[in-house]
Structure 1
Amino acid sequence: MLSLRQDISVVAVDDGMVLLDERTGRYYQVNGSGAVVLGVLLEGGGEDEAADALTERYDVLRERALADAAEIIRRLRTTGLVTA
């Protein structure tokens, strides 16, 4: 299960979310689909649930939603915003 690091603050905005890494002072912005995926992760869901949420919210095929969710999660890991 992924979760945000404790020192990451999140604010919802009109077109996604803004995350602040309080250790570095660096801001990150995720778009609407990123916000959907992150919201599922914050509620304890995983990649499959995130893909389901994307297909419900947007008119995309499940394969595309799975690829998008995986990429968003990869970027969250790469930037160190989430922990496993």
Structure 2
Amino acid sequence: MALRLSAGICTATTAYGTVLLDQHSGEYWELNPSGTLVVRTLLDGGDERDAVDALVAEFDIDRARATRDVLALTEQLRTCGLAS
């Protein structure tokens, strides 16, 4: 499923990954390069499988680990209200 950032959440690319900023609360979260790849893939219309494929290709990790990481990150983003 593609990912959508919640209203008031903006992103900024840094040398270390991506920062998500909640403009309403002023809170921010920093994503490392693998988190950035997952979020970018999903925001660009890809689904979880596409994000897993991207992680496996870019970081040479096994598919099971990549799947767990993608599901954990998307769950956390939704739980924190950053995405739907």
- TM-score (normalised: structure 1): 0.93
Segments of structure 2 that go 5 or more residues without pairing to the other structure are: none
Counterpart of 2:68, as a letter, is A
Counterpart of 1:64, as a letter, is R
- TM-score (normalised: structure 2): 0.93
Question: How far apart, in 2, do the equivalents of 1:51 and 1:19 lie?
Answer: 21
Q: How many residues get paired?
A: 83
Name the residue aligned to 1:33. 34
Name the residue aligned to 2:81. 80
Residue by residue over 1:4-40, the C-alpha shift from the partner in whole angstroms, topping out at 9 and shown as x without a partner, is 1131110011121001101111111111111010001
Segments of structure 1 that go 5 or more residues without pairing to the other structure are: none
Counterpart of 1:46, as a letter, is D
Counterpart of 1:82, as a letter, is A
Question: How far apart, in 2, do the equivalents of 1:2 and 1:38 lie?
Answer: 8
Matched ranges for 1:1-84 at <5 A: 1-83=2-84
Question: How far apart, in 1, do the equivalents of 2:27 and 2:74 lie?
Answer: 19
Runs (4+) of structure 1 moved beyond 3 Å?
Answer: none
